[in-house]
Structure 1
Amino acid sequence: MLDASARALLARPLEAAAAAIDRPHVTPDRLTVAGLALGVAAAGAAAMQLWGVALTLWLVSRLADGLDGTLARRRRARAPRGDQSRESHAGGFLDITADFVAYGSTVVGVAIGAANQFDAPWWPFLLVLLTYYVNGTAFLAFSSIAERTGRTLDDGRSLSFLGRIAEGTETIAVHALWMIVPFWSWQIALGWSVFVAVSAAQRIIVGYLRLR
């Protein structure tokens, strides 16, 4: 729901940051891997109840995740045409895979930390993982079929995203909120699972109608 607004708001700062780090040894794929490593580290810190450390690692990991695409587009504008497509596909695959691992890891990390420190129940976090699974299946299946049938949605990203009420910006914010108020994390997880489930239902319906 907020991704388009967030991209417009952050476009210029990210462009400036990408220009500053645009060096031969800094590549979009390395930024993606760094973001993944930091995201998993955030999950580990949350599991150990190091909430401030987890929050810092999480936010820096998402900054790296935002910079990889910006740097990729900057490099692609200068690359030969054949290399543009190949690098874009490989980088897009790596990026979405890293995002799913980072998101899933932090759900598990927060669940472990909150259960150990606050006796939080596990089942709301399991609901979040279930809704992530359904939501991810819907938009990845749509993107794949849309690509094959020539019905892609081009918003500058590697995949055809069906934007709904739960997108990347909301996910980053909710995961950060878990680490800011971990004593309320399971209640937030319960509400978030409903939010993501509604988004998944929207994607399934809209995706089906668009592909008919």
Structure 2
Amino acid sequence: MLDARLRPLIDPPLNRMGRMLAATGIGANAMTLAGFAVGLTAAAAIASGAFLAGFLLIALNRLADGLDGAIARATRKTDLGGYLDITLDFFFYGAIPLAFAINDPAGNALAAAALLTSFYANGSAFLAFAIMAERKGLSTGAQGSKSLYYLGGLAEGTETIALFLLMALLPGWFAVLAWSFAVVCFVSAAARVLIGVKALRT
């Protein structure tokens, strides 16, 4: 819901940094892979109870996720880059709730399972529509320049990262936050399905 509103604010500084990094020879795919490694390290930190380290590493992962696209815009966007970006993002989104479940199975596992299921539903609606949109030649620039059709919803990247950061700051509230956001994600998934059905009927 907030992604489109934030793009005009975050894209200009990211693009400047992307051009600087591209000039040094750093590639977009290398940044994607480095960011993913940082994200997995964040999950490992959370699983071991190092929540502040997890908070900082999540923030660094998201910075890298913004910079890989900025580097690609400064050089050349590729299908491989877009594929790696979205795929590793979803791996990361799954790793953080799992890390909280590993840290406290008795208190967090059920809430983490509900959150992951809601991510699965939301991601399925999102990615399946992107495939159909590509076949129909549909496009949108609402979320900035993307490698695939980005169907907006209540729960997008900004909200998810804000959730993860809040969880890392308040780990004792993980279950409450996870259940609450799972409800938001299920509503978002249902809305995306309805939007997708309407778009594909016309």
Q: TM-score range by the shorter chain?
A: over 0.9
In the alignment, the residues of structure 2 paired with residue 25 and residue 19 of structure 1 have an alpha-carbon distance, to the nearest angstrom, of: 10
Check the 8 A contact 1:110/1:179 in 2, yes or no.
Answer: no
User: What is the aligned partner in structure 1 of residue 189 from structure 2?
Assistant: 200
1:144 aligns with 2:131: yes
User: What is the aligned partner in structure 2 of residue 13 from structure 1?
Assistant: 13
Q: Deviations over 1:38-68 (max 9, x none)?
A: 1111000000000011111110011000000
Q: Deviations over 1:61-102 (max 9, x none)?
A: 1100000011101113xxxxxxxxxx4211111100010011
In the alignment, the residues of structure 2 paired with residue 182 and residue 143 of structure 1 have an alpha-carbon distance, to the nearest angstrom, of: 34
SS at match of 2:60: helix
Report the Cα offset of residue 24 of structure 1: 5.1
The 10-residue stretch of structure 1 (24-33 or 57-66) with the greater mean CA deviation from structure 2: 24-33
Report the Cα offset of residue 23 of structure 1: 3.3
2:96 partner amino acid: T
User: What is the aligned partner in structure 1 of residue 146 from structure 2?
Assistant: 157
Report the Cα offset of residue 25 of structure 1: 3.4
2:167 partner amino acid: W
In the alignment, the residues of structure 2 paired with residue 127 and residue 152 of structure 1 have an alpha-carbon distance, to the nearest angstrom, of: 32
Relative to the length of structure 1, the TM-score reads 0.90
2:67 partner amino acid: L
1:100 partner amino acid: F
In the alignment, the residues of structure 2 paired with residue 121 and residue 148 of structure 1 have an alpha-carbon distance, to the nearest angstrom, of: 40
Report the Cα offset of residue 184 of structure 1: 0.5
User: What is the aligned partner in structure 1 of residue 102 from structure 2?
Assistant: 112
User: What is the aligned partner in structure 2 of residue 56 from structure 1?
Assistant: 56
User: What is the aligned partner in structure 2 of residue 84 from structure 1?
Assistant: none
User: What is the aligned partner in structure 2 of residue 130 from structure 1?
Assistant: 117
Check the 8 A contact 2:17/2:70 in 1, yes or no.
Answer: no
Selected match of 2:88 from 91, 94, 98: 98
1:148 partner amino acid: R
Alignment of 1:151-190 (within 5 A): 151-154=138-141, 155-190=144-179
Relative to the length of structure 2, the TM-score reads 0.94
Aligned identity (percent) is 40
> Which stretches in structure 2 are left out of the alignment for 5+ residues?
none
Runs (4 or more) in structure 1 with deviation over 2 Å come to: 151-155
In the alignment, the residues of structure 2 paired with residue 47 and residue 124 of structure 1 have an alpha-carbon distance, to the nearest angstrom, of: 15
User: What is the aligned partner in structure 2 of residue 89 from structure 1?
Assistant: 79
User: What is the aligned partner in structure 2 of residue 72 from structure 1?
Assistant: 72
Check the 8 A contact 2:108/2:174 in 1, yes or no.
Answer: no
Check the 8 A contact 1:46/1:110 in 2, yes or no.
Answer: yes
